[in-house]
C-alpha cells in the first residue's frame, strides 16, 4: 500500500473498496473495521467497505426473520449465483445446518446502519437488482461494483473489468430562452460514444486480463455534471415537477443517443464480441428491465429494429460517476447532486478561496441585494438563504441546498433516471436526521424503488458551525432587527480584512462536504 502511494508521488490518494455479502461469517468484523482505524498503525484509512446485498436479506429484515452467517469455504458458490438461484442455494445450506451462526436479520441490519451513521460507510448496492438489470448478465454473476459504486461490470479470474468514462456538462444545453436543446445533447452524446470507442482500441493495457475484458465487452460509461445548474438556469426548483420531468427526459435522451451511436458503429465494425445472448440482443433494453415505458420524444421502434439487424458496439453505455474535480474546473456542480451549500471553498495549489455560488451571486446582484451585509448574513447562515427575508421566495426555491430538500425526492429522481442507466449511479444520501429509523427507512424506500446503488456515502452536516465564529454577531443582530431583513442596496459594513477572510476560508473548509477521496 505504501509503495503505491510512493510511486504515485502521493499526488492523488489511493483508495480501495472491498465488497462483502451479508451472509459472510466475518460480516460484523468487516463492519467494525473502519470504526477502529488507527492511522499510525494501520493503512485501512483508504480502504472502504461496501455491501453487495441480496434481496433475500432485505426480505428477512422486513419480516423480522432469522439470518444465517456462513463460511464461503463450507457453503460454496453463494457469491456466484443471484436471484432465485441464490435464494434456493442459501436456504438449502440453512436446512443442511451448514451455517456458522444464526442471528436476527434486524440485528445485522442495525449494525450496518449504525456503522453508516458513525463512519458514512459501508457503501451499499443491491446484488439482485444489479444483476437482473445488467446487459452483461448472460456472462455470469456480477460480484461487485467499483470505488464510486457506479460501475456494474462482469469480472472473473480471467477478466478484470475496465471502466471507460466521460462526463457531459448538462448546463451547456440550456438555451438563452430557457429551453433545453435535446437535439444537441444527442449530437454530443454520439461524439462521446465514438471517442470512447477509440480510447478502448488505442489504450495501453498493463494487464492482459484488463485488455481481454475491455476488448470483448467494450463497456463505456457516460455520465453528467451540472444537473443542479441546469435546473437553476431553467428556473426549475430541484423538487419541482418540471425538474423531475427534465431529469427523466435528459437521461432518456442520452440512453437513446448512446444506443443509436453504438448501433451505427456496429454497422461498420460489427457488434462487440459477447453481444449474442445479451438482453439487448433479445430486444430487451434497460427501461424494459424496470417495466418503464419511454416517452414519444424519440423513435424507439425504429431504433429497436436497427439494433435487431446490426447489434451494438458496446455492452454498457451510461454510468453516473461523481465529478467533483472536473466539475470545479468547468465551474459546474457535481454530477447529479443538488447544491450542498451556496458558500464553499475553492482550493488550488497556492491558496484556498471563499466562493459564493456564482448563479446565486448573479441573481442577487441583478435584484440589487448583493452587498457586504448580505455576504455577512450568508456566512452566518452557513450558505443557506432560506432564513434571509429580503430574498424573494422564487429565488429561495431555486437555491435550496441538499439539506433543505427531501431525501425521498433525491431517491425518486435516481429511480426515474435509473430506468435509462444501464450501469449505475454514484448516489450520496445526505440527511440532517442521523437516526437508525430514518436511515433504514431511506434504504428500504430505495430498494423498493428498484435502485441498483443504495448509497455511496451517508453524509450529514457537521455538529458545529465554525463559519459563525468569524462573523460580526453584533452586526448580524442589527441586520436582523431591521424589520427582520437586510435593507436593499445598503453597504454599511466594511469588507473584512484579508486576515479575517483567510481565517474564514480555513474554517469553511471544515464544513465542505466533498468526497474525501476525490472524483
Question: Distances in Å between the alpha carbon of 446 and those of 148, 233, 412, 512?
Answer: 18, 29, 8, 26
In angstroms, the CA 138 to CA 134 distance is 9
Look at 4 and 59; give whichever has higher pLDDT. Answer: 59
Instruction: Supply the pLDDT for residue 463.
Output: 61
Q: Is the pLDDT of residue 252 over 90?
A: yes
Provide the 3-class DSSP secondary structure of residue 66.
strand
pLDDT tens, 89-99?
999 999 999 99
**Phi, psi (5° rounding) for residue 229?**
-65, -35
CA–CA gap between residue 133 and residue 128 (Å, rounded): 8
Residue 85 has pLDDT above 70, yes or no: yes
Alpha-carbon distance of 485 to 482, in angstroms, equals: 6
pLDDT band at 509 (very low <50, low <70, confident <90, very high): very low
Share the mean pLDDT of the chain.
89
Sheet of 123-126, strand order: 16-20, 47-53, 123-126, 453-455
What is the DSSP secondary structure assignment for residue 384, as one 8-state letter? -
Q: Where are the domains of the chain?
A: 2-143+431-439, 153-340+401-427, 342-384+465-511
At residue 272, φ and ψ (nearest 5 deg) are -65, 160
Summarize the confidence of residues 302-313 as an average pLDDT: 99
Residue 276: closest CA among 314, 311, 317, 318: 311
Dihedral sign for Cα 361, 367, 372, 375, please: negative
- Whole-number pLDDT of residue 339: 97
d(C-alpha 208, C-alpha 212), whole Å = 6
CA-angle at 302, arms to 297 and 304, nearest 5°: 100
Number of other residues whose CB lies within 10 A of the CB of residue 99: 21
CB count within 10 Å of CB 407 equals 20
Other CB atoms within 10 Å distance of the CB of residue 75: 23
Place of cell 425518486: 412
Instruction: Kindly list the distances between the CA atom of residue 53 and the CA atoms of 214, 425, 451, in Å, as whole numbers in the listed order.
Output: 26, 16, 12
Residue 47 cell numbers, joined = 480502504
Instruction: Indicate left, alpha or beta for 418 from its phi (over 0: left) and psi (-120 to 50: alpha).
Output: alpha
Q: How many residues can be counted in the chain?
A: 519
Q: How far apart are CA 456 and CA 48, in angstroms?
A: 10
Q: Average pLDDT, stretch 464-480?
A: 54
Lowest mean pLDDT among 228-237, 332-341, 467-476, 505-514: 505-514
Say how far apart CA 453 and CA 425 lie, in whole Å: 7
Q: Cell digits for 318? A: 451510461
Place of cell 419541482: 240
Q: Rounded to whole angstroms, how far apart are CA atoms 394 and 360? A: 12
How many other C-beta atoms lie within 10 A of the C-beta of residue 96? Answer: 9
pLDDT score of 2: 43
| CA 55/CA 62 separation, integer angstroms | 11
In 228-386, the DSSP E strands lie at: 343-347, 352-356
CA dihedral 341, 345, 346, 348 (to 10 degrees): -150
Burial of 102 (0-12, 13-18, 19+ CB in 10 A): exposed
Distance CA 414, CA 100 (A): 37
- Of 165, 145, 164, give the one whose Cα is nearest residue 155: 145
> What is the C-alpha to C-alpha distance for residues 243 and 250, in angstroms, rounded to an integer?
10
pTM comes to 0.89
pLDDT at 47: 87
- Multiple choice CATH, 153-340+401-427, 3.20.70.20, 3.30.457.10, 3.40.1190.20, 3.90.1150.10: 3.20.70.20
12 confidence band (pLDDT: 50, 70, 90): low
CA distance 422 to 256: 12
pLDDT at 477 over 60: no
Which whole number is the average pLDDT over 278-289? 99
- The string over 47-74, giving b where at least 16 C-beta atoms fall within 10 Å of a residue's C-beta and e elsewhere, is bbbbbbbbbbbbebbeeeeebbbbeeee
CA atoms in the 13 A half-sphere facing the CB of 453: 32
Residue 369 has pLDDT above 80, yes or no: yes
| Residue 52 binned pLDDT confidence (cut-offs 50, 70, 90) | very high
Amino acid at each position: 500500500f505504501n509503495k503505491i502511494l510512493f510511486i504515485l508521488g502521493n499526488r492523488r490518494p489511493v483508495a480501495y473498496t472491498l465488497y462483502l455479502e451479508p451472509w459472510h461469517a466475518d460480516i460484523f468484523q468487516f463492519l467494525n473495521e473502519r470504526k477502529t482505524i488507527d492511522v499510525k498503525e494501520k493503512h485501512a484509512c483508504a480502504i472502504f467497505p461496501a455491501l453487495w446485498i441480496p434481496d433475500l436479506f432485505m426480505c428477512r429484515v422486513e419480516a423480522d426473520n432469522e439470518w444465517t452467517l456462513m463460511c464461503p469455504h463450507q457453503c460454496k458458490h453463494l457469491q456466484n449465483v443471484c436471484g432465485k438461484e441464490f435464494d434456493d442455494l442459501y436456504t438449502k445450506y440453512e436446512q443442511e445446518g451448514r451455517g456458522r451462526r444464526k442471528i436476527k436479520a434486524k440485528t445485522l441490519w442495525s449494525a450496518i446502519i449504525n456503522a453508516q451513521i458513525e463512519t458514512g460507510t459501508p457503501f451499499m448496492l443491491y446484488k439482485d437488482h444489479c444483476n437482473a438489470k445488467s446487459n452483461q448478465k448472460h456472462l455470469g454473476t456480477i460480484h461487485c461494483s467499483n470505488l464510486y459504486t457506479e460501475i456494474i461490470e462482469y469480472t472473473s479470474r480471467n477478466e478484470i473489468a475496465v471502466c471507460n468514462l466521460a462526463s457531459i456538462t448538462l448546463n451547456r444545453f440550456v438555451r438563452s430562452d430557457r429551453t433545453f436543446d435535446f437535439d444537441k445533447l444527442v449530437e454530443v452524446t454520439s461524439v462521446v460514444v465514438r471517442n470512447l470507442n477509440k480510447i478502448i482500441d488505442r489504450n495501453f493495457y498493463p494487464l492482459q486480463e484488463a485488455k481481454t475484458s475491455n476488448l470483448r465487452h467494450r463497456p463505456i460509461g457516460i455520465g453528467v455534471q451540472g444537473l443542479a445548474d441546469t435546473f437553476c438556469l431553467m428556473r426549475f426548483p430541484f423538487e419541482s415537477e418540471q425538474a423531475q420531468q427534465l431529469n427523466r427526459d435528459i437521461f432518456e435522451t442520452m440512453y437513446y443517443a448512446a444506443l443509436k451511436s453504438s448501433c451505427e458503429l456496429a454497422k461498420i465494425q460489427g457488434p462487440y464480441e459477447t453481444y449474442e445472448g445479451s438482453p439487448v440482443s433479445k430486444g430487451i433494453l434497460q427501461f424494459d428491465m424496470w417495466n418503464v415505458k419511454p416517452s414519444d420524444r424519440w423513435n424507439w421502434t425504429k431504433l429497436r429494429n436497427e439494433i435487431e439487424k446490426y447489434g451494438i458496439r458496446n455492452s454498457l453505455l451510461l454510468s453516473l460517476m461523481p465529478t467533483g474535480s472536473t466539475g470545479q474546473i468547468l465551474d459546474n456542480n457535481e454530477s447529479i447532486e443538488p447544491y450542498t451549500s451556496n458558500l464553499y471553498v475553492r482550493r488550488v495549489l497556492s491558496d484556498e478561496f471563499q466562493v459564493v455560488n456564482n448563479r446565486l451571486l448573479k441573481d442577487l446582484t441583478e435584484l440589487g441585494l448583493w452587498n457586504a451585509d448580505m455576504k455577512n448574513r450568508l456566512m452566518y447562515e452557513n450558505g443557506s438563504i432560506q432564513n434571509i427575508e429580503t430574498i424573494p421566495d422564487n429565488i429561495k426555491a431555486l437555491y435550496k441546498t441538499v439539506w433543505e430538500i427531501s431525501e425521498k425526492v433525491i431517491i425518486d429522481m435516481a429511480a426515474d433516471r435509473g430506468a435509462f442507466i444501464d450501469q449505475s449511479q454514484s448516489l450520496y444520501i445526505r440527511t440532517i436526521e442521523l437516526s437508525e429509523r430514518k436511515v433504514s427507512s431511506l434504504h428500504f424506500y430505495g430498494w423498493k424503488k428498484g435502485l441498483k446503488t443504495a448509497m455511496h456515502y451517508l453524509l450529514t452536516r457537521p455538529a458545529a458551525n465554525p463559519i459563525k465564529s468569524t462573523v460580526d454577531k453584533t452586526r448580524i443582530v442589527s441586520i436582523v432587527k431591521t424589520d427582520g431583513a437586510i435593507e436593499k442596496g445598503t453597504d454599511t459594513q466594511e469588507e473584512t480584512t484579508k486576515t479575517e477572510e483567510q481565517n474564514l476560508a480555513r474554517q469553511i473548509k471544515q464544513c465542505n462536504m466533498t468526497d474525501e477521496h476525490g472524483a
